[in-house]
Copies of this chain bind each other. A is one copy, B any other.
Amino acid sequence: MRTTAATGTTSREDSCAAPASTRDRLLDAAADLFYREGVNVGVEALCRAAGVSKRSMYQLFDSKDAVIAASLDRSAPGFQDSMLPAPDDGRPPRERIMHVFEQLESLAQTSGFLGCPFVAAATELKAPDHPASLVARRWKNELTAFFRGEAERGGVRDAETLARQLTVVFDGSSARTVVQAQGLDGLAVLTARTLLDAAGLRENA
């Protein structure tokens, strides 16, 4: 299995006996290419990278916009998994929340990290109703829901607000990495910790 640091996309080519389907191959190449170069990459370049003909692409998808949405959705679980703790790791809520920021700090040090793929896609598309913007919103809301669930479990009174604040720290820290082109040096962890302290989510809650 080869996992790209940036999107968490997993390519199955190395591990499966059966070749990846044309659809999977197209979407994996698209997720990788759109993340690295932007959603404005042309259909020609995309099909070349995927080793798929334009005809095949248009048999599978109505439009390039549909490919952008489907590829983001396909790569999303990999990115999410690389950020979130295992569902059953038994750690207290505060530690499970901090796990996300520790992972972000770690990812931000890798050269392939170009920010949160959901925020990047929405920023580039500039169209809130684009199918890929809807995918981005849905997955970003999943992260907020994770924070909220843990905050509730930890007894935080306004868990929804804390969850939104933590998402802001996640996305602002990612943006910092993109703009400064360097790691976070503990800033995301420190800021998240400050907000957890202020919300009263203690170590052993």
Contacts and interface: CB of A to CB of B under 8 A. Distances in A.
Interface of A: 36-38, 40, 114-116, 118-120, 122-124, 126, 128, 133, 136-137, 140, 161, 164-165, 167-176, 178-181, 187-188, 190-191, 194-195, 197-198
Given A165-B191, A190-B165, A122 B179 contact: yes
Nearest to A197: B198
B175 A173 contact: no
Contacts of A38: 40, 124, 126
The number of times this chain is found in the oligomer is 2
A188 B168 contact: yes
A113 to B, nearest CB: 11
Contact of A119 (B136, B175, B188, B194): B175
Contacts of A114: 123, 126
Most chain B CB neighbours (cut-off 10 Å) among A38, A120, A175:
A175
A126 B171 contact: no
B179 A168 contact: no
Nearest to A41: B40
Complex A-B, nearest 10 residue pairs according to Cβ-Cβ distance, in ascending order: A172-B172, A128-B181, A168-B172, A171-B175, A40-B40, A171-B172, A122-B179, A194-B198, A123-B123, A119-B175
Nearest to A194: B198
A56 to B, nearest CB: 25
Contacts of A180: 137, 140
A174 B174 CA distance: 12
